[in-house]
Chain A
């Protein structure tokens, strides 16, 4: 699904702590070699030569088409919070406050789909922008620019619309019949488990070992 969302972009960049978006982007690259994938945190053969500011300079110039952002909290207005909630302190906003409004196609990604993560209103707006989509571990939403509301596009296999309603803290639109998110093909799965897992393991050894046993 991540590969589908990136679509026909020329350049996708992946920020800090994003092994799943990185895997999806590398999967797409293996099938679409003209795609440029820049992993910001790559330990070896990092794509940048102007230090850690280059990602932002590229984005500011419009040279990056797609970027992924997460959030400790994400709300129905598509605001994200990476700073604090209640008594809890999170790591901080990273580059999100800049990237979200600047990147043409921002994809919000949060594996946890719960009322704790998807809230009516974030307690701190780290960044505000117009996303392309919100992808969670249970469902895919598109963003309706005019109405400023999410729309449920598909539910992942093994999950149901009732469950999505129950586990989402904000209101969203939903079509009469919600399709099931297509599973990866056998070829895609083989690539994910093989070449992509190996590539990811260099930067996310813990993730690769846990998920792919790589």
Chain B
């Protein structure tokens, strides 16, 4: 979230966002602030706080391009990039109107089947940048993401990986058998920067919870462009330590 707020302050423009597999609060902020040209995602939602208001308005006004996908298609496309292969097949999806919006997805015969067996092929996705927030980084440049393995997949698939983290650990997490399975190794990570409570108002497992009250407040404020602008002024554009609520 700290990087998202910084992108808005810097007036980033023309970003293409990939939801893995969905987008939420970060995307809604970036879209509302005019930073986004295109999203590829399975959905955009604020979870229990409801619809993502800035996404919804931008979509209805045609202000951003939307490439609608479905969750496992995005996971599969990233797994293809991670393996360095050009595409991967996926079951299901046939019969969905998603196909008509996706000229890059192909339905072909399963080459190994004896009878007719159409199956979806999705091309690999190698994002320019993987961006995420993590609990720990260490002195060796590793980042710990725990069970959020889709984050590791994005880091493996992307050309560059940038991370923020809560706390720096001494030593090398790859030497710790309990931590190592949750590590994105330094080989994938270009840079990592400390950002305490950097996920706020979202949460970090076992460190702090999602700030549901704040998200509900945002969802209400951002229903109008003016309300959204006031939210930006208060929580994003000023540099006050708003990510450290009492």
Q: Which of A43, A89, A94, A102 contacts B60 (CB 8 A)?
A: A89
- We find that the number of chain B residues with CB closer than 8 angstroms to chain A is 47
Find out whether the CB atom of B95 lies under 8 angstroms from the CB atom of A124.
no
B52 at interface, CB cutoff 8 A: yes
| Chain B residues with CB below 8 A from A109, complex form | none
Interface of chain A, main secondary structure? loop
Q: Which of B44, B72, B94, B147 contacts A91 (CB 8 A)?
A: B44
Known: A53-B149, A89-B60, A91-B43. A96 touches B68 (CB 8 A): no
A50 at interface, CB cutoff 8 A: yes
Interface of chain B, main secondary structure? mixed
Closest to B72 in A: A56
Find out whether the CB atom of B210 lies under 8 angstroms from the CB atom of A101.
no
Closest to A93 in B: B70
- Chain B residues 68-106 with CB under 8 Å of chain A are 68-73, 75, 79, 90-98
Find out whether the CB atom of A94 lies under 8 angstroms from the CB atom of B22.
yes
- Chain B residues 136-179 with CB under 8 Å of chain A are 147-153
Find out whether the CB atom of B75 lies under 8 angstroms from the CB atom of A125.
no
Interface string of B85-129 (1 = CB under 8 A from A): 000001111111110000000000000000000000000000000
| Chain A residues with CB below 8 A from B149, complex form | 49-51, 53-54
Find out whether the CB atom of B98 lies under 8 angstroms from the CB atom of A93.
yes
| Chain B residues with CB below 8 A from A102, complex form | 91-92
Closest to A87 in B: B60
A212 at interface, CB cutoff 8 A: no
B59 at interface, CB cutoff 8 A: yes
| Chain A residues with CB below 8 A from B47, complex form | 16-17, 41
Complex interface: stretch among A23-31, A146-154, A189-197, A200-208 = A200-208
Complex Cα gap A43–B210 (Å): 9
Find out whether the CB atom of B94 lies under 8 angstroms from the CB atom of A92.
no
Known: A125-B97, A126-B96. A98 touches B150 (CB 8 A): no
| A: contact size bracket | 35 or more
CB proximity of B222 to chain A, nearest CB, Å: 15
Find out whether the CB atom of A95 lies under 8 angstroms from the CB atom of B48.
no
A183 at interface, CB cutoff 8 A: no
Find out whether the CB atom of B212 lies under 8 angstroms from the CB atom of A95.
no
Find out whether the CB atom of A95 lies under 8 angstroms from the CB atom of B93.
no
Find out whether the CB atom of A51 lies under 8 angstroms from the CB atom of B92.
no
Q: Which of B70, B92, B150 contacts A52 (CB 8 A)?
A: B150
CB proximity of A169 to chain B, nearest CB, Å: 19
Enumerate chain B interface residues (CB-CB to A < 8 A). 20-22, 41-45, 47-49, 51-52, 55-56, 59-60, 68-73, 75, 79, 90-98, 147-153, 203, 205, 209-210, 212, 216
